Structure 1
Amino acid sequence: MGNLTDTVKTLLIANILFFVGTLYLGDYAYQLFALWFPENPNFGIWQIITHMFMHGDQSHIFFNMFALFMFGSVLERSIGQSKFIYIYISAGLGAAGLQVLFSYIGYYGALQILTDSGVALDQIPTMISSTLKTGEFPYYINDSNVEAARSLVSNFRTPMVGASGAIFGVLAAFVLIYPNMPLYFIFVPIPIKAKYLIGGYFLINLYSAVTGSTILGPSNTAYWAHIGGAVVGFLVMWYWKRNSFNQNRWN
């Protein structure tokens, strides 16, 4: 780890320690530190930070930490420690904010469909509780509104975990500084410029976020979090590059 910058090294260690902790604490760790939908009783304000250090499984943390390892130190050496930390945290917060926004849109859109179909508003908490316990919807959820009920429960019960939003912010900032740096994609033995490889990856995630169709990664990926993190990282770095640094530094 000698080539790693101090911040990247600290982030790697912190994420690994959190992940090891979840192996011992199990569901309690996710209940406490994952980012829950704000209407869920598990929600806590500290989760907007702690969720960035939580991961779902070994592959989830591996790919996030691999990206941080590959791009983080290069970016930190270019912009400095304080600005790197700012991008990392602000991208993580932007990711959480956009994902929660779309969770609210999904939740209240589904709620409107249910109430329009005749489900009483005071039946919703009972429906959620019953469905989470039994895995089945109550009798008043019929074929015409079962998809809305499924969407509502999914938004309510599914927590957000992972450093992906912050990592996407790092990747977006990296592209603005080193757009033409040749990168190698796994199993493809030809160099691809960073702006094409990372830009293409962003577009794949944007497609999945808009359509709900998964191309890369598991089906429960928080694609809007990836988009939010990338947009924040891009905008922050774009502003700094345009206004805060000597232009010659970016050549």
Structure 2
Amino acid sequence: MATCDVCGEYENLPYQCKRCGQTFCSEHRLPENHDCPGVGEWSDPGGVFDSGFDDGGGTGGSTGGQAGGSGGVVSRVKRRFNRATNTGGLVSYVRGNATYAILAAMWVTFLAQLVVYHGVSVSLHNTLFVLQSDALGNVWTWVTSVFAHSPVGIYHIIGNSVVLFFFGPLVERAVGSKRFTAFFFGAGIAAGLGHVLFAIATNAPPTGVLGASGAGFALLGVLTVWRPNMQVLLFFVIPMKIKYLTWGIAIVSAFLVVTSGTGGVGGIAHLAHLIGFAIGLAFGKRNEGLARSAGGAGGVQMGRMRGPGGPGGPGGRF
């Protein structure tokens, strides 16, 4: 028994799409019925969808039959090779599952951080992973800072992982893996740069940011537009509509930014949260049509899933 990734219905005999790897009921099992990300790009270069009716096409006696059988074996081998290298295999598990690939990369990066921070030097760690207001020329940190999290505790990465795990697939399913990946990193990079540039503009002391919270708040912003009444569980306990959660966090963050004058309070880059949230709202508004087509008349479907609300926790990060 499993839950359909489109409508949320429980299915005793679920179908798994070989293209995107997700699970569906009988109504949504066909690629065109669940808006499979690879359908629009499919060109069948290796004849993967070939019916195989001509594999054993010898109709002129035993010799023709043997030749056809041999050709059929070769054809089947070619098709399997094409699945593994061009349109399926390991690649197919990433296509349509960019959320989980990003999540895995975050944890691999976190392990690398622990090694460098605790085993080599803090300075090298900051050079590799932290977007710093006094080192904007380290352009790689524009990206690595989105993957990286506070190496002095685990709550930071857990909070962002929870948000990405529960809410990322909803957005990815609607807009496709490529657009989702570009949106996630674009929002994360813009949030980080916005925070450090604000610190520079206000002559604040040198600051640095790291973490996927900016991108996470962007996801929450998208769903605030698409499904404002979607119920989530704050701290896994308190039920509330997502619009109350996200706008409540935004108001508190805005108050803290204004009162602090630096965009960060207690080591948390609240301005980065606001930038990510604003980007998410704009992206959600611009792509409302995709959300409706992904989930039918009701828009993006949550099924029976309830997500926890909001990343957070102590540490110098966003």
Normalising by structure 1, what TM-score?
A: 0.70
Shift in Å, 1:209: 1.6
Shift in Å, 1:64: 0.8
Which whole-Å CA distance do the structure 2 matches of 1:13 and 1:52 have between them? Answer: 13
Match among 256, 259, 280 for residue 233 of structure 1: 280
Contact 2:216 2:276 in 1 (8 A): yes
- The answer to whether the aligner puts 1:177 opposite 2:226 as a matched pair is yes
Counterpart of 1:139 in structure 2 is: none
Which whole-Å CA distance do the structure 2 matches of 1:101 and 1:36 have between them? Answer: 10
- Identity in percent: 28
Stretch deviating more after TM superposition (14-23 or 67-76): 67-76
- The answer to whether the aligner puts 1:15 opposite 2:111 as a matched pair is no
Counterpart of 1:87 in structure 2 is: 183
Q: Would the alpha carbon gap of residues 66 and 239 (structure 1) be closer, same or farther in structure 2, given more than 3 Å must change?
A: same
C-alpha offsets along residues 89-126 of structure 1, whole Å, 9 cap, x if unaligned?
1211220232022111222xxxxxxxxxxxxxxxxxxx
SS in structure 1 at match of 2:240? strand
Matches within 5 A, 1:19-30: 19-26=110-117, 27=122, 28-30=124-126
- The answer to whether the aligner puts 1:201 opposite 2:246 as a matched pair is no
C-alpha offsets along residues 186-229 of structure 1, whole Å, 9 cap, x if unaligned?
2644x31111112212222222222129xxx9701111111111
Matches within 5 A, 1:74-223: 74-107=170-203, 151=204, 155-156=205-206, 158-186=207-235, 188-189=237-238, 191-212=239-260, 219-223=266-270
Q: Would the alpha carbon gap of residues 244 and 172 (structure 1) be closer, same or farther in structure 2, given more than 3 Å must change?
A: closer
SS in structure 2 at match of 1:221? coil
Shift in Å, 1:82: 2.1
Which whole-Å CA distance do the structure 2 matches of 1:233 and 1:176 have between them? Answer: 9
Which whole-Å CA distance do the structure 2 matches of 1:61 and 1:103 have between them? Answer: 24
Higher strand share: 2
Shift in Å, 1:11: 1.0
Counterpart of 1:53 in structure 2 is: 147
SS in structure 1 at match of 2:201? helix
Stretch deviating more after TM superposition (10-19 or 217-226): 217-226
C-alpha offsets along residues 162-197 of structure 1, whole Å, 9 cap, x if unaligned?
1111111111011111111111212644x3111111
SS in structure 2 at match of 1:183? strand
Which whole-Å CA distance do the structure 2 matches of 1:160 and 1:95 have between them? Answer: 10
Contact 2:128 2:140 in 1 (8 A): no
Which whole-Å CA distance do the structure 1 matches of 2:236 and 2:298 have between them? Answer: 33
Normalising by structure 2, what TM-score?
A: 0.56
Instruction: Identify unmatched segments of 5+ residues in structure 1.
Output: 108-150
Higher helix share: 1
Which whole-Å CA distance do the structure 2 matches of 1:73 and 1:250 have between them? Answer: 14
Q: Structure 2 counterpart of 1:212, which letter?
A: S
Which whole-Å CA distance do the structure 2 matches of 1:202 and 1:24 have between them? Answer: 35
Contact 1:169 1:229 in 2 (8 A): yes
Q: Would the alpha carbon gap of residues 166 and 187 (structure 1) be closer, same or farther in structure 2, given more than 3 Å must change?
A: closer
Instruction: Identify unmatched segments of 5+ residues in structure 2.
Output: 1-21, 24-93, 301-318
Q: Would the alpha carbon gap of residues 84 and 218 (structure 1) be closer, same or farther in structure 2, given more than 3 Å must change?
A: same
Q: Would the alpha carbon gap of residues 178 and 104 (structure 1) be closer, same or farther in structure 2, given more than 3 Å must change?
A: same
Q: Which has the larger radius of gyration?
A: 2
